[in-house]
Amino acid sequence: MYSLMIPKGYKSVLTPRQTQLAIKKVKDFFERDLAVQLSLVRVSAPLFVNENSGLNDNLNGVERPVSFDVKDMGSDNMEIVHSLAKWKRAALKQYGFEPGEGLYTDMNAIRRDEDTDNIHSVFVDQWDWEKHIRKEDRTEETLKNNVRAIYRALRHTEKYIADDYAFAEKNFLPEQITFITTQELEDRWPDLSPKERENKIAREKKAVFIMKIGGALKSGQVHDGRAPDYDDWELNGDIVVYYPVLDIAFELSSMGIRVDEEALLRQLEISGHTERVNMPFHKALLKGELPYSIGGGIGQSRICMFFLHKAHIGEVQASVWPEEMVKECRENGIELL
């Protein structure tokens, strides 16, 4: 069952046609600035991968990928990607990127088991990026420096959009992003749920990077699920901003330093997925055949939603929604594309 929040008195400041023009402004500017801030080159990327390659993002391990057969591929099925988290690391090697160099791409995915609401859709569109780093650069400081680079691109985009649109705020995002770990959040608000903690810290700081997601906290809880075979759970996190239109913590990006051989084996053991070591991607990683890297995904529709003050992600992307949700949105001035 879907969930839906209707902001009191909400009315979009842009018509659907004006919204389409504004979406292009946001995406074009942010994409260019992101490439500059992180020294990235744009590449082409797949919509689907072989189910036996180990390249698809397994998310929390329970989501079902959309799969189909291909006439010329025998018994192997193809899977629509959930994200390109692992594919990008293999691409760094294929394209010959050196340490300090990286790639980004448009990633379109289908997540059929997503619980749809104001900010979650079956259709996912991201800028997926990946950068080659040296093993000795697998540090918290490397992670923070890349977070700051992405945050600069967000701040630059905010100023650019505010110069063009009177409704946009120029300095809503604070000058600096705050860093905090999931354990620090639990220590501060032990009686709250992980999502409630995120809402609290986002309202307080306006922009935060929540670090160390995937492993168990002192309470035994997991703040949020992460696949065991791409991010190192000790060196990852989410960029979260406060979103006043919905009064929530709003995740714009998930990212992290990728697992090395040791972290991969440890996290597969913890998650109960040691069988994955036999997949081509995992074999290559354990043999040292893939570069060490840092990377992540940045939501295209979410960034547009944030900067254009939309109440529903369906106002900035074309997807499918339950008919009851479409009707309820229409009755409350929310026009889904």
Which of the pair, 225 or 183, is modelled with greater confidence?
Answer: 183
Residue 182 lies in a domain: no
The model's pLDDT over 268-302, given as tens digits with 9 standing for 90+, comes to: 999 999 999 998 889 999 999 999 999 999 999 99
**8 burial via Cβ count (<10 Å: 0-12, 13-18, 19+):** exposed
Active-site entry in 31, 33, 57, 128: 57
User: What confidence score (pLDDT) does residue 61 get?
Assistant: 67
Strand order in the sheet with 102-110: 40-42, 102-110, 123-132, 293-299, 248-258, 231-243, 207-211, 178-181
Residue 236 lies in a domain: no
User: What confidence score (pLDDT) does residue 15 get?
Assistant: 92
Residue 199 lies in a domain: no
Strand-pair partners of 250: 241
The model's pLDDT over 177-211, given as tens digits with 9 standing for 90+, comes to: 999 999 999 999 999 999 999 999 999 999 999 99
Contacts of 223 (CB under 8 A, 6+ apart): 182, 185, 186, 194, 210, 212, 213, 214, 217
Per DSSP, the three-state class of 149 is: helix
Strand-pair partners of 294: 131, 257
Residue 244 lies in a domain: no
Active site residue 76: no
Residue 205 lies in a domain: no
Active-site entry in 128, 251, 260, 315: 251
User: What confidence score (pLDDT) does residue 181 get?
Assistant: 98
User: What confidence score (pLDDT) does residue 51 get?
Assistant: 85
Residue 122 lies in a domain: yes
Q: What is the CATH number of the domain that holds 51?
A: 3.30.930.10
**179 burial via Cβ count (<10 Å: 0-12, 13-18, 19+):** middle
Active-site entry in 12, 83, 121, 126: 126
Active-site entry in 89, 111, 226, 302: 111
Residue 241 lies in a domain: no
Question: Quick one: pLDDT band at residue 158, thresholds 50, 70, 90?
Answer: very high
Query: Could you give the number of structural domains in the chain?
Result: 1
Mean confidence (pLDDT) of the chain: 93
Active site residue 254: yes
User: What confidence score (pLDDT) does residue 3 get?
Assistant: 86
Question: For 47-65, what is the mean pLDDT?
Answer: 80
Question: Quick one: pLDDT band at residue 82, thresholds 50, 70, 90?
Answer: confident
Pairing of strands 40-42, 102-110: parallel
Assess whether pLDDT exceeds 80 at residue 160.
Answer: yes
User: Domain containing 77: what range?
Assistant: 16-170+259-331
Assess whether pLDDT exceeds 80 at residue 62.
Answer: no
Active-site entry in 12, 83, 253, 254: 254
Residue 243 lies in a domain: no
Assess whether pLDDT exceeds 80 at residue 151.
Answer: yes
Question: For 159-182, what is the mean pLDDT?
Answer: 92
Question: Quick one: pLDDT band at residue 6, thresholds 50, 70, 90?
Answer: very high
Q: Quick check: 148 and 35 in contact, CB under 8 A?
A: no
Per DSSP, the three-state class of 115 is: coil
Active site residue 183: no
% of the chain exceeding 70 in pLDDT? 99
Question: Quick one: pLDDT band at residue 171, thresholds 50, 70, 90?
Answer: confident
The model's pLDDT over 13-53, given as tens digits with 9 standing for 90+, comes to: 999 999 999 999 999 999 999 999 999 999 999 999 888 88
The model's pLDDT over 96-150, given as tens digits with 9 standing for 90+, comes to: 999 999 999 999 989 888 889 999 999 999 999 999 999 999 999 999 999 999 9
% of the chain exceeding 90 in pLDDT? 79
